[in-house]
Structure 1
Amino acid sequence: MLLVYTHNISPRLNYIFKHICTRILGFEVKFTTKIEAFIAHDSLKMSYTKQALGNEFFVKCHDILFEQGLGDIDINIQKWDNTKCFFFNGDKSAIPFDIFSASFYMLSRYEEYLPHVKDAFGRFTAEESLAYKSGFLHQPVVDIWAYKFKAALQAQFPDFKFPDKNYSVKPIIDVPSPYKYKLKGLLRTFGGVLSDLSKLRIVSLYDRFGVLLRFKHDPHDTFKYLLNRQKNTRFKFLFFFLIGELSTYDKGISPNKKHFVSLIKHVADYCQVGLKISFFALEDEKRLKREKEKMEDVLNTNLIASRQSHSKLNLPETYRYLISLEIKEDYTMGYPNHIGFRAGSCTPFLFYDLDYEVQTPLKIIPYQLMDVALLKQWSLLDKKKVLNELISSIKAVNGEFVPVFHNYTFSEDKEWDGFKELFSLILDSVDES
């Protein structure tokens, strides 16, 4: 156990120390404001305050963990070996940066509460982030900083046995619509036919009627392939099905269709299933509750996990809705168009509500890659290179790789050529670690 002496055991301090020490590094941490208790402790210990007590392991603190609400924070990014950090704390500290304050800034998504320019979907974009602007979006900096802290502790306490942690993979299969042509209803099918005719898409027209007349397989129905892959891996895939109402942003299938319900139940027999929350339910708690209850009716169990349509998050409202509905996990924390670490981490963390200054029970599982981001790489070789670099960066900190693919990614559509191979590369990466 690590004992931390500090002048004030604030909610922020408690939150971030437990994340770094317990969730990332795997050991227990406790706090004291009493010097006598600190001196008497005969194992791992450190002080985290403005001035060292003596010659102990000391990290000079920044003010952010002892503040409330939002403020103007001066952030000066500096190089630190093979990474970058901020909140430099001088030569007297055991490590040159206050990684606890920097990590809190990243995990709390402090910057997403501040004024920023949103994209057409109303989302916080990678380009607005400190990580993108400062050139460290590609690194799980919170985890890297944690391991630097661990190395410094090991040097000071060589007899302490630190626990081991292993790299893992959690593949996400996003299903905005399970089929390209099936179960679309008369009006949408007629509209699709007219669109194909007007744009002279003869192949699409042939495929559409082939599927509807049942002599062709729907191209986006890749569930047999995915379930077969699941059977041959030792970790569960997590599918997110959209069951919300048809809208400008969501073009799914009605959950009243028996064939669609049967598909969800069939997938749930082999994999984990969560709810892909529709775009308009993000800001409508009643609609969100209806979608949750409908999915629970289908699954015949409590809903555990959610993902937001188009990876849109409105902080803190979105997460507060999930908490009020007792959804335990969310998988939206990432950038759809950029590979990297939105919260600077590849370790799941609990949502900290900056307005209420409280750690919540909602677990945030950040994703680092969405399939569409790989389309920016021209060749399959380039895609593999980028993917292998990402895997290596997560393995280096024994993190959890959470890639997001879609059911149509595994279709025969030309733009997705080679993606089955990339998926296999990810699944096989666990055996190589």
Structure 2
Amino acid sequence: MLLVFTHKITPRLSYAFKHICTRILGVPVSFTTTIEEFIAHESLKISYAKQPLSNEIFIRSHELLFEQGLNDVEIHVHDWDTTKAFFSTSEKSSLPYDIFAATFYLLSRYEEYLPHVKDEYGRFLAKESLAFKNGFLHQPVIDIWAYKFKSVLQAQFPDFEFPKKLYSIQPVVDVPMAYYFRQKGLLRTIGGTLGDLFRFKFRQFYQRYLVLFGFQRDPYDTFKWIITKQKQTKFKFVVFFLIGDYSTYDKNINVNRKQFVSLIKSVSDYCKVGLKASYFALEDIEVLKKEKKKMESIVNYGLEASRHSFSKLNLPESYRNLIELEVKQDFTMGYINELGFRAGTCTPFQFYDLDYEVQTPLQINAFHCIDYALLKRQSFLDKKQELERLIQQVKQVNGTFTPVFHNYTFGDDVRWKGFRDLFGVILDSVDDE
């Protein structure tokens, strides 16, 4: 166990240290404000204060972990070996940066509470983030800092054996629309047919009726392939189905259709099934509650995971609603147009409510790669290299790689050519360990 001496134990301090020490390095941590207890402790120990006690491992503390609420935080990002860091310490400090305060800043999404420009859906943009502006979005900096901290501990306590952590993957399949042509009902099918004709989409008109008459598989129906892939890997896919009411934003199949229900049930036999919360469920907890109950009645087990439509988050309300409904995990944290680490880590973490100053039970599984962001790369080779670079970043710190692909990504549309192979690269990345 690591013992931390500090002048004041706060929820922020406990939260940041537990992420680095326990979740990333696998070492339990406890805190003390008593010098005698600190001196008597014979295993791993550090002091986190303004001045060292003697010649122990010392990290000069930044004020952030002892404050409450939001304040103007001055941040200067510097190069640190092959990575970046902020919140400089002092010459006496064993590390040149207060990685714990910096970790709290990134994990709590402090910057997303501050004034910023949103996109047309009200989302926080990657280019507004500290990580993007300072060129470290592509690195899981918190995990990199944790391993630098581990080196300092190992030098001081060479006999201590750290637990071994392995690289893992957590593939996400997002299903905003299970079928493109099938199961749409008479009115939507007529509307789609007329739309094809008026827009001279004769190939789509022809394909629509080949599918409807059973001569061709629906272009979005890739579920047999997904299940086959799931059978080939020990890591459970998390498949998120949208079952909310039809609206301007959400256009999935009606959840009362038997075939749609049986599809969800059959996928849940092999994969973990979660709820893709509809656009209006983001604003209305009653709508979210209704969708959660419906999904639970389909899969016959308590809903554990959710993901928001359009990857939209309203902090802290979105997460508070999930906590109130006892949802345990969320997979919304990430950027639609950029690859990288929105919260600076590739290790799942708990949501910290900045207003209430408390760590919550909700686990945040930030995604690091989404198929739409990969589309920006022109050739298949560019996409593959970019993906492998990202995987390598996670492997170096034995983290969890979380990619998001959509069911239609695995179809035959020219736009998504090669994406099945890219998904295979992710699955195979565990085998070449």
Q: Structure 2 length as normaliser, TM-score? A: 0.99
Alpha-carbon distance between aligned partners in 2 of 1:16 and 1:256, rounded to the nearest angstrom: 45
Partner of 2:204: 204
Partner of 1:286: 286
Alpha-carbon distance between aligned partners in 2 of 1:187 and 1:281, rounded to the nearest angstrom: 25
Alpha-carbon distance between aligned partners in 2 of 1:392 and 1:233, rounded to the nearest angstrom: 19
Moved runs in structure 1, 4+ residues, more than 6 A? none
Give SS of 1:30's match.
strand
Alpha-carbon distance between aligned partners in 2 of 1:280 and 1:128, rounded to the nearest angstrom: 25
Alpha-carbon distance between aligned partners in 1 of 2:294 and 2:37, rounded to the nearest angstrom: 53
Alpha-carbon distance between aligned partners in 1 of 2:14 and 2:27, rounded to the nearest angstrom: 14
Give SS of 2:4's match.
strand
Alpha-carbon distance between aligned partners in 2 of 1:252 and 1:203, rounded to the nearest angstrom: 22
Partner of 1:8: 8
5 Å-filtered alignment, 1:28-427, equals 28-427=28-427
Mean CA deviation greater in 183-192 or 281-290: 183-192
Give SS of 2:47's match.
strand
Q: Number of aligned pairs?
A: 433
- CA deviation vs aligned residue, 1:26-45 (integer Å, no higher than 9, x gap): 01111100000000011100
Alpha-carbon distance between aligned partners in 2 of 1:187 and 1:88, rounded to the nearest angstrom: 63
Alpha-carbon distance between aligned partners in 2 of 1:191 and 1:127, rounded to the nearest angstrom: 39
Give SS of 1:219's match.
coil
The letter for the 1-side match of 2:123 is: R
- CA deviation vs aligned residue, 1:368-410 (integer Å, no higher than 9, x gap): 0000111001000101110110000000000000000000000
Deviation for aligned residue 1:298: 0.4
Give SS of 1:409's match.
helix
Give SS of 1:103's match.
helix
The letter for the 2-side match of 1:115 is: P
Deviation for aligned residue 1:46: 0.4
- CA deviation vs aligned residue, 1:116-152 (integer Å, no higher than 9, x gap): 1110000001011000011100000011111111111
The letter for the 2-side match of 1:235 is: F
Deviation for aligned residue 1:71: 0.2
Deviation for aligned residue 1:18: 0.8
Give SS of 1:226's match.
helix
The letter for the 1-side match of 2:193 is: V
Deviation for aligned residue 1:200: 1.3
- CA deviation vs aligned residue, 1:309-363 (integer Å, no higher than 9, x gap): 0000000000000000000000001001110000000000000000000000000
Alpha-carbon distance between aligned partners in 2 of 1:173 and 1:124, rounded to the nearest angstrom: 22
Alpha-carbon distance between aligned partners in 1 of 2:388 and 2:215, rounded to the nearest angstrom: 40
- CA deviation vs aligned residue, 1:129-181 (integer Å, no higher than 9, x gap): 00001110000001111111111111111111111100001110000011010
Deviation for aligned residue 1:424: 0.6
Give SS of 1:23's match.
helix
The letter for the 1-side match of 2:220 is: H
The letter for the 2-side match of 1:313 is: L
The letter for the 2-side match of 1:138 is: H
Mean CA deviation greater in 237-246 or 197-206: 197-206
Mean CA deviation greater in 402-411 or 183-192: 183-192
Q: Structure 1 length as normaliser, TM-score? A: 0.99
Partner of 2:432: 432
Alpha-carbon distance between aligned partners in 1 of 2:337 and 2:254, rounded to the nearest angstrom: 28
Deviation for aligned residue 1:67: 0.4
The letter for the 2-side match of 1:424 is: G
Mean CA deviation greater in 208-217 or 24-33: 208-217
Alpha-carbon distance between aligned partners in 1 of 2:226 and 2:73, rounded to the nearest angstrom: 46
The letter for the 2-side match of 1:348 is: P
Mean CA deviation greater in 185-194 or 287-296: 185-194
Give SS of 1:178's match.
coil
The letter for the 1-side match of 2:296 is: E
The letter for the 2-side match of 1:179 is: Y
Alpha-carbon distance between aligned partners in 1 of 2:3 and 2:375, rounded to the nearest angstrom: 47
The letter for the 1-side match of 2:39 is: I
Alpha-carbon distance between aligned partners in 1 of 2:258 and 2:212, rounded to the nearest angstrom: 17
User: Identical aligned pairs, as a percentage?
Assistant: 64
Alpha-carbon distance between aligned partners in 2 of 1:91 and 1:247, rounded to the nearest angstrom: 59
Which runs of 5 or more structure 1 residues have no equivalent in the other structure? none
Alpha-carbon distance between aligned partners in 2 of 1:270 and 1:160, rounded to the nearest angstrom: 41
Give SS of 1:362's match.
strand
Alpha-carbon distance between aligned partners in 2 of 1:17 and 1:105, rounded to the nearest angstrom: 13
Deviation for aligned residue 1:192: 1.1
Deviation for aligned residue 1:285: 0.4
Alpha-carbon distance between aligned partners in 2 of 1:235 and 1:385, rounded to the nearest angstrom: 23
The letter for the 1-side match of 2:160 is: F
Deviation for aligned residue 1:234: 1.2
Alpha-carbon distance between aligned partners in 2 of 1:243 and 1:353, rounded to the nearest angstrom: 28
- CA deviation vs aligned residue, 1:279-330 (integer Å, no higher than 9, x gap): 1110100000000000001011100000000000000000000000000000
Give SS of 2:180's match.
coil
Give SS of 2:274's match.
strand
Alpha-carbon distance between aligned partners in 1 of 2:310 and 2:59, rounded to the nearest angstrom: 40
The letter for the 2-side match of 1:403 is: P
Alpha-carbon distance between aligned partners in 1 of 2:401 and 2:278, rounded to the nearest angstrom: 25
Give SS of 1:3's match.
strand
The letter for the 2-side match of 1:349 is: F
The letter for the 1-side match of 2:163 is: P
The letter for the 1-side match of 2:138 is: H
